Structure 1
């Protein structure tokens, strides 16, 4: 197979890309003007993914736990009672219509390209839905499914299969933290994971499909960073693909980094640059707004970004000018007050499981992916979630999912339109992902577990017309039949709720579970559903 490449003087380009065209100072409170700009160190075109087969040793490596690089936990001082906890189910409300339900990539998952054997934990379960396909990507492997049947049409293959023939660390490393997006504006796929050579420099490997077929041709890019770019999260926006990172220098947190990739150039397979702003260590776990729906933001609208503060949310607006990066800006951080909360498990591990004393991570130190954006014409909306502690005292709490809807986004500080913590009983709920359909109905998916329950997957919904600050009709998507054992507490680190771009009503959710007790034997599930009345 022939690869059309623009990789000229690869090592020289690597060195040159470390030098930004324009620099700014790190700041917590002041708006920033002028972004750091650097070119993709290399890019090329993959004629077709279909013909690429896995290597025999792709899924036969040593078992390993992916490093959890912790960001500073910012939490309310002392123990607080959650004033917006929904501690009882609401009757009536949104009823759901089930669609497909099928297993995704996990231990023993078999498709046209072979069988996947889990070598790493956690899976970082992620997925997106397009015109005709669903693409799921977990740590180290991805697969493409027919969205009408749930049948796998390509995969499972190692994540770096997508960079076969590309050269450099994107081809030779398969390090994960994957994100797959469907750019519904252009009907293209966007897939990205990092490559982490020992000691750096480090790379974000990005591929943009040339059509709506994920098994077809791709434009491929590599962007380079001096510091370790952990926990990348991506959002589609009309002027850029926005990607945020938690940067680390060695084991020391170096602050969040907010970047924009030149979407137009990448759609066309042309040379592309990135523009980035570096925040101080006061901020981590920032999420970029990710577009849902057919109505775009107003022309020139900045991308909206959020992180978790102390009983607050931090809010930024990032605007990029590709013609003149000196005009690119990042607003000062605005603090959005919300109901006081404590992080579930103090940000660490406390989630119980049936039949074992092993507890699971909450990852409650950060907001959970995605920050879903929708423009309804008369107003714009953002929905997001994170995991909090609910209970009578610090020693007697359980994990629950706090969710928000923000409006009035064009203001310096947006409005919290509604907020609630879904805790209808003492089952632990965490690792959520939330989205909103074209009618304004909400679906929130999450993991569940308790001392009498194996980890499972559920979702709860609300009609736009329901009482504010409430969810109803919790549905068990899948009840797991195993618990994670033997000193393996990593879970997540994220799940994904996506909207079908064809009808803008059908939700697709993916998360992990176990079929039997053990370690490094996780499975994943993919399911679709819609809320009755959306059409």
Structure 2
């Protein structure tokens, strides 16, 4: 487990993770934690106020982002800072580890993000700072808001414009007090409307352009992603285009058991972006096709140049019913991984992940998800704020992903964060992925349906058990099971069968889930 509500008073936690050669650095609102890769915490949690105390700026520090620069061997952390008492300063703090060991000394900077609104009548302050990396610079984008006591009290602070700052790596990594900074303000989309919540990409490899991407907020229903590029050599120049994607809408809030209040899923802004081998991956919260459930939307975009961007594939992840606050990453073999929170009316908010294997999996699909940390209680706290995002990091060795997501624990209210490592996409797929038994009289039993579980990985997987859970587990039964205690080599399959026998009359559909539990060693 990572930091929890017992460790920080700030909600939501905004969990982030970065993997280095020997350490994991985890950031949440508003503290830093360092672990070795066996999960042992190195020292104590350090609050951001203490970590950045040497800058001599007193303000609330929030919305952390952290990445590991594999090329240069440094951790890079950013966080927003605003003086919410006197409204005299607004910064994005940047910290860079001097080496690949995060327990050592860090260079620390305060980058001024205080501006004026478009009518030049009020000061603006940064919110939701995002972080990207190329071979030559880091990229920090913020939404600038007009802040004052009344709007903070009423949660009605006005959005002004979006900024992007390009900060040169050579000066940043060497601790130079004079940074090379280029600032773009009042950023607009290709259609001319104000851009919002731009995600710069964490770039793996070398490219002539840094790519940035944002959901288009021209209305509550959109079919556009706004894509931007900034050249990585010479004087930075910002360019933009629009990309047509399947329509997406604002996500509804997420269901949870034993609680009258759903979990807030915010809006459909993009939550992270990664570029590798001329493709750009990104993810967001959206509504499903019936607009009844939040799902985790994801995209793979061809991005060798801004003029040729095109959608390669996209999809939506529903988890146990609702899925939200996804983070996506990809390795050099185009294996993608997505971490997210999932819940339903019968499943407490839990941490989960899924993925796909390069070009071998069908387009527009992810594999059967893994629920790696089950929630244990409902969550009702601070307007049921969740997220605002999850974290994922490709290991510097390139063979695994480290992930962190939020889950609901006890006592309510209590959020936790959970860290896991995955060697690749989930190994098992189940076919068919779902089955409808049709209408069955109370007291009668349907015919059986056979399901096939296939090991799509190159590793051996041992299945410990096959169980039924979910909303109405008592109305379904496993009638044959060749999977429990079986060991599946690469490409091998096993089967199990289930049937439906409703115990009492209900007008609604009866639902259940089948879970395959692998042994921990596999």
Q: TM-score range by the shorter chain?
A: 0.7 to 0.9
**Residues 524 and 486 (structure 1), Cα distance of their counterparts in 2 relative to 1, 3 Å cut:** closer
1:406 to 2:301 alignment: yes
Q: What is the deviation of 1:408? A: 3.8
Q: 2:382 & 2:417 partners in 1: Cα distance?
A: 21
Contact 1:434–1:443 (Cα < 8 Å) also in 2: yes
Contact 2:256–2:348 (Cα < 8 Å) also in 1: yes
Contact 2:229–2:306 (Cα < 8 Å) also in 1: no
Q: 1:424 & 1:264 partners in 2: Cα distance?
A: 42
> 5+ residue gaps in structure 2?
115-123, 148-156, 217-221, 425-456, 460-522
**Residues 146 and 418 (structure 1), Cα distance of their counterparts in 2 relative to 1, 3 Å cut:** same
Q: Which runs of 4+ in 1 moved over 4 A?
A: none
Match of 1:261 in 2: 167
Select the structure with the greater relative contact order (CA < 8 A; seq sep ≥ 6): 1
Match of 1:361 in 2: 264
2:293 aligns to what SS in structure 1? strand
1:384 aligns to what SS in structure 2? strand
Q: What is the deviation of 1:424? A: 6.7
1:144 to 2:34 alignment: yes
1:244 aligns to what SS in structure 2? strand
Q: 1:344 aligns with which of 251, 258, 264?
A: 251
Q: What is the deviation of 1:533? A: 4.4
Q: 2:316 aligns with which of 421, 430, 446?
A: 421
Matches within 5 A, 1:286-435: 286-292=198-204, 296-298=205-207, 301-309=208-216, 310-319=222-231, 327-331=235-239, 333-345=240-252, 350-369=253-272, 371-375=273-277, 380-392=278-290, 394=291, 397-423=292-318, 427-435=321-329
Q: 1:475 aligns with which of 361, 370, 377?
A: 370
Match of 2:134 in 1: 237
Contact 1:228–1:249 (Cα < 8 Å) also in 2: yes
Matches within 5 A, 1:420-499: 420-423=315-318, 427-464=321-358, 465-485=360-380, 488-499=383-394
Q: 2:131 & 2:195 partners in 1: Cα distance?
A: 17
**Residues 487 and 212 (structure 1), Cα distance of their counterparts in 2 relative to 1, 3 Å cut:** closer
Contact 1:358–1:486 (Cα < 8 Å) also in 2: no
2:348 aligns to what SS in structure 1? strand
Contact 1:461–1:471 (Cα < 8 Å) also in 2: yes
Match of 1:197 in 2: 83
Q: 1:247 aligns with which of 141, 144, 157?
A: 144
Q: What is the deviation of 1:500? A: 0.1
1:123 to 2:13 alignment: yes
Contact 1:320–1:329 (Cα < 8 Å) also in 2: no
Q: What is the deviation of 1:176? A: 1.6
Contact 1:209–1:217 (Cα < 8 Å) also in 2: yes
Q: What is the deviation of 1:162? A: 2.1
**Residues 362 and 256 (structure 1), Cα distance of their counterparts in 2 relative to 1, 3 Å cut:** same
**Residues 441 and 533 (structure 1), Cα distance of their counterparts in 2 relative to 1, 3 Å cut:** farther
1:177 aligns to what SS in structure 2? strand
Contact 1:400–1:429 (Cα < 8 Å) also in 2: yes
Matches within 5 A, 1:57-68: none
Q: What is the deviation of 1:173? A: 3.3
Render the CA deviation track for 1:211-256: whole Å, top value 9, x for unaligned. 1110111211111122211001111211101111111123211121
Q: 2:255 & 2:368 partners in 1: Cα distance?
A: 24
Matches within 5 A, 1:46-195: 103-108=1-6, 116=7, 118-147=8-37, 149-167=38-56, 169=57, 172-195=58-81
Contact 2:228–2:306 (Cα < 8 Å) also in 1: no
Contact 1:460–1:475 (Cα < 8 Å) also in 2: yes
1:267 aligns to what SS in structure 2? helix
Contact 1:405–1:416 (Cα < 8 Å) also in 2: yes
Match of 1:530 in 2: 423
Bigger radius of gyration, 1 or 2? 2
Contact 1:335–1:413 (Cα < 8 Å) also in 2: no
Q: CA RMSD in A?
A: 1.8
Render the CA deviation track for 1:160-192: whole Å, top value 9, x for unaligned. 32223332x1xx334221111111111111112
Q: 1:453 & 1:312 partners in 2: Cα distance?
A: 33
Corresponding pairs, count: 395
Q: 1:210 aligns with which of 67, 83, 98?
A: 98
Q: Which moves more between the two structures, 181-190 or 485-494?
A: 485-494
Q: Which moves more between the two structures, 441-450 or 192-201?
A: 192-201
**Residues 230 and 473 (structure 1), Cα distance of their counterparts in 2 relative to 1, 3 Å cut:** same
2:384 aligns to what SS in structure 1? coil
Render the CA deviation track for 1:4-37: whole Å, top value 9, x for unaligned. xxxxxxxxxxxxxxxxxxxxxxxxxxxxxxxxxx
Match of 1:22 in 2: none
Contact 1:243–1:258 (Cα < 8 Å) also in 2: yes
TM-score of the aligned structures, taking structure 2 as reference length: 0.73
